[in-house]
Amino acid sequence: MKRYMIIGCGARSYMYLKAITTTFSRQAELVALCDLNPHRLSLAQEAVRRATGVGADEAIPGGGPADFEDLIRKCSVDTVIVTTMDRTHDEYIVRAMEAGCDVIVEKPLTVDARRLARIEEVRQRTGRSIRVTFNYRYAPRNSVIRELLQVRRAIGAIKSVHFEWLLDTVHGADYFRRWHRDKKNSGGLLVHKATHHFDLMNWWLADQPETVYASGALVYYGRENAEARGITRFPDRGTGADPADHYTLDLSRDNELKQMYLEAEKYDGYRRDEHVFGHYISIEDDLSVLVRYRGGTRMTYHLTAYSPWEGFRIAFNGDAGRLEYTVVEKTTVSGSDDDRGRSDAAADEGPLEEVTIRLLPLSGKVEEITPPGTNEIGHGGGDRRMLQDIFDPNREEDPLGRAADHTAGIYSIAVGIAGNMSLAREVPVAISEVVGR
Ligand SMILES: NC(=O)c1ccc[n+]([C@@H]2O[C@H](COP(=O)([O-])OP(=O)(O)OC[C@H]3O[C@@H](n4cnc5c(N)ncnc54)[C@H](O)[C@@H]3O)[C@@H](O)[C@H]2O)c1
């Protein structure tokens, strides 16, 4: 049975914590926890105690960053799961591999080319494995697209793609409230968010990106944009501010957010509820990207983070037809009561997303395709399937190649990192400059 440690006990870590201590408790063991913030660490320790039913005096071993190697050694950890803030992924990936562990890391693998080179050097030297958890690949609707394009070759050779991703002012606005809003922490949305989208596209096209040109700006969030629209009131933070303000997130009004973030603030000063119309936002909210792939396909991509609805629209143009794919998602604030309670309520909630897939051959009839399991929680059912693929040794076969290794992790962030370089230089950037090959 493999022994796991989680580093970073925030909202996302609970997916792994719950999976290992409940569904996969016969196949995997959670043996240690680590976080900079002692309050979030103890909340996670308590969650493990509740899930495993051990006594109050038998807390799972835990510690802070300085205890990382000690915990690995004392608890005989095989694999470290990294769910910290993006900027710190490289540090823990490297330290885990140096200490003899394999790594599972949340997307994005890391945020810039310098950190990527360091991870690669240590991976090659230590021979350890890195797996990036691209849950979106596992959503049945996304697997159907891979099957149509690569197995059925339904539209022939793919010549161009138009890809539009929309983030709304509930879930999307949240990136402008916390650590993500500082580009140093997240690499901006081209890295932090679009890594999912670029990974999907690399996988759907079964190809690698070659050059990237990007253009973008902060056009909606932030103080100056709000002022230009005539807004004159700027609360310091969401907690205690006017609840009628659609953009306010009051941590004290939500049990989960209050426990996990408000009560933990005094230890590290991490404020989860900055106002989206405040100062010091260094990420873009409107981005255009042009990507050329090695096989010749050209993709235009656009990300809008202030949209009335959340989801995406894609059109693939091939020499035998066109595939149109639209998903409209229902959103919540990450880590909130709504988000955490969703699994219980999902069955009564009605459709969690609307999916349309249309196959239009150049000659012949239009085909409407209904993918299975579109009403599952957790990123279109992707989270559940991915967890099974990670933790269950009797996992189902993976003929579509959904498991993403470090190379997939590299090529997905490479588009975002090259995009950031292109934004700064205002010229196209070769992917080889980012990945060094
Ligand atoms: N695949 C997905 O769909 C998905 C969804 C949500 C989040 N994520 C990823 O999960 C990761 C965590 O996101 P989150 O929403 O849980 O964030 P969060 O802010 O809720 O949690 C981050 C945790 O990391 C800890 N931390 C920060 N810096 C640290 C350091 N230097 N050393 C040790 N611990 C540190 C914080 O104290 C906090 O507990 C991010 O990389 C994010 O991209 C992925």
Residues in the chain, overall count? 437
pLDDT over 60 (residue 344): no
**CB of 195 closer than 6 A to ligand 1?**
no
Both tokens of 385, joined, read 């399937």
Query: Kindly report the CA angle at 51 between 18 and 386, in degrees rounded to 5?
Result: 15
Instruction: Using pLDDT thresholds of 50, 70 and 90, give the confidence band for residue 156.
Output: very high
pLDDT of residue 337: 78
Mention every residue, 6+ apart, whose C-beta is less than 8 A from residue 412. Answer: 107, 108, 109, 132, 134, 195, 196, 198, 199, 202
Rounded-to-integer distance, Cα 209 and Cα 299, Å: 10
**CB of 380 closer than 6 A to ligand 1?**
no
- Determine the distance separating the centroid of ligand 1 and the alpha carbon of 87, expressed in angstroms: 10
- Determine the distance separating the centroid of ligand 1 and the alpha carbon of 35, expressed in angstroms: 10
**Atom nearest to 8 CA in ligand 1:** 24
**Rg, C-alpha atoms of the chain:** 22
**CB of 83 closer than 6 A to ligand 1?**
yes
**CB of 37 closer than 6 A to ligand 1?**
yes
**CB of 174 closer than 6 A to ligand 1?**
no
**CB of 106 closer than 6 A to ligand 1?**
yes
- pLDDT mean over 211-230: 98
- What's 257-284 look like in SS3? HHHHCHHHHHHHCCCCCECCCCCCCCCC
Q: What is the mean pLDDT of the chain?
A: 93
Domains along the chain with CATH numbers: 2-133 (3.40.50.720), 136-221+281-377+404-435 (3.30.360.10), 223-268 (no CATH)
Rounded-to-integer distance, Cα 263 and Cα 39, Å: 8
Mention every residue, 6+ apart, whose C-beta is less than 8 A from residue 222. Answer: 176, 276, 277, 278, 279, 281
pLDDT tens by residue, 96-141: 999 999 999 999 999 999 999 999 999 999 999 999 998 899 999 9
Rounded-to-integer distance, Cα 169 and Cα 173, Å: 5
pLDDT over 70 (residue 373): no
Strand partners, 211: 292, 430
- Determine the distance separating the centroid of ligand 1 and the alpha carbon of 9, expressed in angstroms: 7
**CB of 193 closer than 6 A to ligand 1?**
no
pLDDT tens by residue, 43-64: 999 999 999 988 878 899 999 9
User: Cβ distance 248 to 176 under 8 Å?
Assistant: no
Q: At what angle do helices 113-126 and 406-425 cross, to 10 degrees?
A: 160
- What's 324-364 look like in SS3? EEEEEECCCCCCCHHHHHHHHHHHHCCCCEEEEEEEEECCC
